[in-house]
Amino acid sequence: MRHWKLATFAPFVLLGGCDAFFAGQQQAVIADDETAGPAGVTQSAGSALPERAIARDAGSEERALEMTCTHPVRDVDTADTLVERYGDAAQVGTVLGREGEEWPGVILWPDDPSKTVHVFFDDERRDRIAFIRIRDDSQWRIAGLGIGSTMAEAQAAAGEPFEFRGFGWDYGGDIFGAGNAGFDQLERCHPMFSFAPEYADDGRGYEPPSQFLGEVIVSSDAEGLDPERIRIWESGLMHWEPEGQ
């Protein structure tokens, strides 16, 4: 199976935090190798943020699936309730976070890339959901935004500029909905989005100016930034209330 070597969300990192700078950008590559997780769950290998995001439409209107705080996963769900509700379409195992961190998890629809959802739990019993994640060929949309949506589209959806982390390190391109612009419109969870510069099939990707790289906070309307050439490569919903919010 072909998949992106990409990272997952690190849910405990919010805007304004301070982590070690990841020197140098990692190249996102298409790979054929896989890592088999517990209970037959297959996970993407690698833990580096992508240097480029695929330039593609964020799913057709006909195929788009709207993700909410209660669909397809509820904040009160456990691994047991997900298996009860979705049967064989719910696989219990371990999912990988950034820097290779292992999380107790459930993968929904693992055999359907357009619907696959990774559910992360913050306890070994898998009774408390921390957050859920989508990426790759997912057709799910959150607040009207899907994988491949541009930063310009995200700013329009938010109704105002928002802040994100500079590109080129482990948490580069990340924004979180809690307390950030208009993304906090959902009542029982917080949207999460991660952006990367666009990669084109002809190999001519977008190179953000150097002031937008590294451990800095950037506004989506910053002068010199092209939001039409920056796209969502990963998104999700956070089901817990971040500290201080």
- Specify the pLDDT at position 38: 30
Q: Measure the N-to-C terminal CA separation of the chain; round to a whole number of Å.
A: 40
Strand blocks (E) in the chain? 3-4, 30-31, 35-36, 42-43, 53-54, 65-67, 90-96, 102-108, 117-121, 129-135, 140-142, 145-146, 163-165, 174-176, 190-199, 217-219, 230-238
What whole-number distance in Å separates Cα of residue 157 and Cα of residue 182? Answer: 8
Domain ranges of the chain: 3-238
Position 2 scores a pLDDT of 28
Omega before 208 within 30 of 0, i.e. cis: no
- State the pTM of this model: 0.73
pLDDT for 190 equals 85
Say which residue the tokens 């913050």 belong to: 122
Entry field: residues in the chain? 245
pLDDT of amino acid 245: 44
Write down the pLDDT at residue 180: 61
Going residue by residue through the chain, which has 245 residues, state the pLDDT in tens, using 9 for 90 and above.
322 223 333 433 322 222 222 222 222 222 223 333 333 333 333 334 455 555 555 454 454 699 998 999 999 999 999 999 999 999 999 998 877 889 999 999 999 999 999 999 999 999 999 999 999 999 999 989 999 999 999 999 888 899 999 999 888 999 865 556 567 666 678 889 999 999 866 667 899 999 999 999 999 999 999 999 999 999 999 876 544 44
State residue 52's pLDDT score: 55
- Comparing CA positions, the residue from 132, 158, 131, 161 lying closest to residue 144 is 158
pLDDT at 170: 85
